[in-house]
Amino acid sequence: MSLLWIVADSVCADVLGCCGGPCRTPTVDRLAEQGTLFPRAVSAAAWTLPSLAAMLTGVYPHRLGLARWEQPWPAGRETLFDLAARAGRVVASFPFDPQFLFSRVPAARVAGSSQDTGRLLAWLREHRDRPYFAFVHYWWTHIPYLMWPLDTRRWRKATDVVLSALCAGPREREGVKRLYRHAVERFSESWLPRVLEAVDLDRTWVVIAADHGESWGERSGTDGVRQVFDLHGNDLAEEVLRVPILVRPPRGGPARRIEGIVRTVDLAPTLAELLDLGALPPDIDGASLARSVREGAPAVAADAVSVRNADFVTRLETPGSPSDLWTGYALTKPRQRLVWDVGRDAFDFFELEAQPSGTATVAERRSGEPPAALVERLRAEARRAVVGEFDAAESARTAERLKALGYLE
């Protein structure tokens, strides 16, 4: 069997139609009706690179030490790409820009940019009858929410327009949210149907997930939105961490909806098992959700860990210690979230309250003192954190490209 795994950037669970959200997404919803939907998946990181690395290894990002695009992934750490290749699948990935994601991950076998839909479709048609493992990082749901390839200058200009609209007032902010929702709808109704047509759905697993959600500078304590990382990256809030996961088996299956907490680190062991790719090492953090997919078994994870990292995207030196790099941790349990600011050694404790059934929305309400066991759980995670390999020359080159994209000032 083949796998088409699509990660749509910045898609919050609660915007999709199948999760009770406001977007018109019948194509995504139809896949959900033929498979298993996890509306309460928790992302392992608040921005793209560490989140995707966690998905593809089953290991939390702070244990991988990855926080820059150009870092080589830890030698000896197996990814799903490695397993798939060994199991005889043709491996290909389509990141938004091959200069960034997977630029130093040879196992990803980058075959083109996801922004070149024609190339992606041609690859899928060409390999239709061969077992493959295709990973697509869909980018047009990311700010500035426009659906065409933009050169860096125009990307920067459009992003600045959106960021300044978010600062202009509530009416303009609502306008940006509408633009974002349109981008999600175009993903589902304009791009996805063409891609599915190029796939033999009787022999292919289709997985749709998101790397993180999106926030809009509305929280108290945030001092506005000045850069892309203020929308996702700097905050471990519900709207940033909650993502959808959808797994449709070949030929489709009964509609299942698993309401418990699952984690994006669970995807790697789940797909390894479902596609019979062999086992990932026993020290991974994720747990297989294959029984949920096959039988509708409840989610098993007790909690989910998420991290944010310091701005080593603009700072080119190597972080001195793990606490220099990993500046925040969140622990999500079904009804609680604990967020730890490492620098201030301060904890924020929240109760999570499900909203009316049928929607994936969860309200976060600030609560009192956190239980000591949860505090210790996060401190123990921090003791496992590492700093990966940083390469100053490579970082400087990437910083130039990022500056052009508007990620850096």
Q: Hunting for tokens 């699509």 — which residue is that?
A: 6
Residue 343 neighbours by CB distance under 10 Å: 10
* Cβ pair 339, 366 in contact under 8 A: no
Q: Which residue in 244, 242, 245, 219 sits closest to 230, CA to CA?
A: 219
Contact range with Zn ion by CB under 5 A, out of 172-180, 209-217, 288-296, 301-309: 209-217
> Which residue from 14, 29, 78, 211 is in contact with Zn ion, where contact means CB under 5 A?
211
Closer residue to Zn ion in complex, CB, 211/273: 211
Give the closest residue to 309 by CA, choosing from 382, 202, 225: 382
Toward Zn ion, which CB reaches closer, 78 or 214?
214
Q: Buried b vs exposed e over 90-110: b needs ≥16 C-beta within 10 Å?
A: bbbbbbbbbbbbbbebebbbb
270 near Zn ion, judged by CB under 5 A: no
Q: Residue 142 CB, nearest distance to Zn ion (Å)?
A: 6
Measured from the CB atom, the residue of 46 and 271 that comes closer to Zn ion is 46
Give yes or no for a contact between 17 and 29, defined as CB atoms under 8 angstroms apart.
yes
Give residues with Cβ within 8 angstroms of 164, minimum separation 6.
none
Minimum distance from CB of 150 to Zn ion (Å)?
16
Near Zn ion by CB under 5 A, which window of 47-55, 69-77, 272-280, 359-367? 47-55
From the CB of 210, what's the least distance to Zn ion, in Å?
Answer: 8
Decide if residue 48 touches Zn ion (CB under 5 A): yes
CB of 289 to Zn ion, least distance (A): 22
Q: Of 228 and 360, which has the nearer Cβ to Zn ion?
A: 228
By CB neighbour count within 10 A (0-12 exposed, 13-18 middle, 19+ buried), where does 227 fall? middle
Q: What's the min distance (Å) between Cβ of 372 and Zn ion?
A: 34
Pick from 152, 150, 151, 125: nearest CA to 140: 150
Find the binding residues for Zn ion in span 84-113 (CB under 5 A): none
Minimum distance from residue 166 beta carbon to Zn ion (Å)? 17
* Nearest residue to 305 via CA among 10, 50, 13: 50
Q: Which is nearer to Zn ion, 50 or 286 (CB)?
A: 50
Range list of H helices, 93-151: 117-126
Given the complex with Zn ion, which of 211 and 235 has the nearer CB atom? 211
234 contacts Zn ion (rule: CB under 5 A) = no
| Residue 9 vs 381, nearer CB to Zn ion | 9
Shortest distance, position 212 Cβ to Zn ion, whole Å: 5
In the complex, minimum distance from the CB of residue 84 to Zn ion, in angstroms, rounded to a whole number: 22
Q: Which two tokens stand for residue 262?
A: 């699952």
Amino acid at 76: G
The answer to whether residue 82 forms part of the interface with Zn ion (CB under 5 A) is: no
230 lies in the site for Zn ion, by CB under 5 A = no
Nearest approach, Cβ of 139 to Zn ion (angstroms)?
A: 8
Q: Give 391: exposed, middle or buried? Use CB within 10 Å, 0-12, 13-18, 19+.
A: middle
Q: Would you count residue 306 as binding Zn ion (CB under 5 A)? A: no
Residue list 359-378, contact with Zn ion (CB under 5 A): none
Residue (211 or 266) nearer to Zn ion, CB:
211
Kindly provide the b/e burial profile for residues 6-18, where b requires at least 16 CB atoms within 10 angstroms of the residue's own CB.
bbbbbbbbbbbbb
Residue with tokens 């301060």: 346
| 303 scored as a contact of Zn ion (CB under 5 A) | no
Q: Are strands 132-138 and 2-8 parallel, antiparallel or unpaired?
A: parallel
Nearer to Zn ion by Cβ, of 9 and 185: the residue is 9
| Residue 332, beta-bridge partner list | 304, 337
Give the list of residues 6+ apart from residue 293 with CB closer than 8 angstroms, or none: 35, 36, 247, 249, 256, 270, 274
Residue whose C-beta lies closest to Zn ion: 48
For Zn ion, which residue of 9, 14, 230, 273 counts as binding (CB under 5 A)?
9
Total number of residues binding Zn ion (CB under 5 A)? 3
Q: Which is nearer to Zn ion, 13 or 299 (CB)?
A: 13
Cβ proximity to Zn ion: between 186 and 291 the closer is: 186
- Cα gap 103→120, rounded to integer Å: 18
Q: Is 239 in the site for Zn ion (CB under 5 A)?
A: no
Smallest gap from Cβ 290 to Zn ion, in A, equals 26
CB of 264 to Zn ion, least distance (A): 12
> Which spans of this chain sit near Zn ion (rule: CB under 5 A)?
9, 48, 211
